[in-house]
Amino acid sequence: MRRRSLISVCRCRQQKKSFRRLRRANASVVTRVTPGIVGGIECRFVDPANPENFRRATDAKTRCYYAETLPNPKLTVFPIGEVAKIGRALGVPLIMDNTAAPVLCRPLDHGAAIVMHSTTKYIGGHGTSIGGILVDGGNFDWEKHKDRFPMLNTPDPSYHGAVWTQAVKPLGPIAYILKARVTLLRDVGAPMSPFNAFMFLQGLETLPLRMRVHCDNANAVAKHLGKNPKITKVIHPSAMSGEAKKRAEKYLSRGLGALLGFELKGGVEAGRKFIDSLKMFYHVANIGDARSLAIHPASTTHSQLTPEEQAQTGVTPGYVRLSIGLEHIDDILADLDQALAAV
């Protein structure tokens, strides 16, 4: 889904701007996997601390901005409205990966043009099915910026010369998603299996209810861990201050999310020991399950990076990431406490 969200508007020697704090796997998709498939798409990483950095990094070949609403491990909320506004003035659409904040954040309301979700996470809710969705807000004028989007504004030889911005005229400004559907789905495959679609629809029916409990539990965990002397730092929007707090309040008005990180004084060894000592939390790299999940990135997902590279992504040796589930809060806290006691 991440690749499809990009190659609907980018091809060789074009570029997109990305958000420096993308999570590891997203960064890898944009810098390595996508260029490997379509060749030569340039990706520039931009620090969103100052949204104006996006304007500075934009040039005539920029095709889109791509960012995550609530990127782990740093969990600093992306300035969606500020960057979307800059992009609209320059003719650059903002694509938001809202996987970590469904229901909580509505990026289209803040000016994003496209939203994508890995439905494997909160939408499915059980980590049983792999899938994704791409949503075109129908709010971006792809025709007005012909030079930026030749793939949508010039005849497509793979589809009887269709010009997508013209072909969609009776439907509205949805050239992006129509092209994604009729050419990319055909060319690169990976349509969702009907059974997975069924599972995701089941999940969607309880999503708002689940998100409320996820968020309440995570707030309680953040507060509780903040008091533990073995922990030097809790990373959760509820524990932030200044600009990060303001952004969280503005964009996550329906709840601060259920991803949470903390740093153990004891470094890598403490991180490993903590994970090994958990009894109820599952040790997996996934997020957004009904069950509580935990991972120690320095010894798993980020272990192929140098310590310096790990630090750049926000992963310190003792950093542990939690995805707080729907279990009773007493059980969640009890499991964390007994694993911390073992460190």
Ligand X SMILES: Cc1ncc(COP(=O)(O)O)c(C=O)c1O
For the bound state, the minimum distance from the C-beta of residue 255 to ligand X, rounded and expressed in Å, comes to 17
Residues forming beta bridges with residue 42, ordered by sequence position: 15
> Which residues in this chain contact ligand X in the complex, by CB under 6 A?
1-2, 23, 25-26, 68, 97, 99-100, 118, 132, 287
For the bound state, the minimum distance from the C-beta of residue 136 to ligand X, rounded and expressed in Å, comes to 17
Percent of the chain that is helix, strand, coil (3-state, to 5): 45, 15, 40
* Contact criterion met (CB below 8 Å) for 76 and 247: yes
For the bound state, the minimum distance from the C-beta of residue 19 to ligand X, rounded and expressed in Å, comes to 11
Query: Quick one: DSSP state of residue 135?
Result: E
**CA distances for 260 relative to 39, 106, 226, 292, angstroms:** 36, 21, 12, 11
Separation between Cα atoms, residue 181 and residue 185, nearest integer Å: 5
Residues forming beta bridges with residue 261, ordered by sequence position: 235, 321
Of 287 and 315, the one with the shorter C-beta distance to ligand X is 287
For the bound state, the minimum distance from the C-beta of residue 231 to ligand X, rounded and expressed in Å, comes to 24
Listed in order, strand segments (DSSP E) in the chain are 15-19, 42-46, 62-68, 94-97, 114-118, 132-136, 231-235, 259-264, 282-283, 293-295, 319-323
For the bound state, the minimum distance from the C-beta of residue 5 to ligand X, rounded and expressed in Å, comes to 9
Of 121 and 148, the one with the shorter C-beta distance to ligand X is 121
Of 23 and 179, the one with the shorter C-beta distance to ligand X is 23
Q: Which residues contact 80 (CB under 8 A, 6 or more apart)?
A: 67, 69, 94, 96, 105, 107, 110, 111, 112, 251
Helices (H), 189-306: 194-225, 242-251, 267-277
Of 73 and 87, the one with the shorter C-beta distance to ligand X is 73
Residue nearest to ligand X (CB): 118
Of 21 and 23, the one with the shorter C-beta distance to ligand X is 23
Of 91 and 124, the one with the shorter C-beta distance to ligand X is 124
Of 132 and 137, the one with the shorter C-beta distance to ligand X is 132
For the bound state, the minimum distance from the C-beta of residue 302 to ligand X, rounded and expressed in Å, comes to 14
For the bound state, the minimum distance from the C-beta of residue 124 to ligand X, rounded and expressed in Å, comes to 11
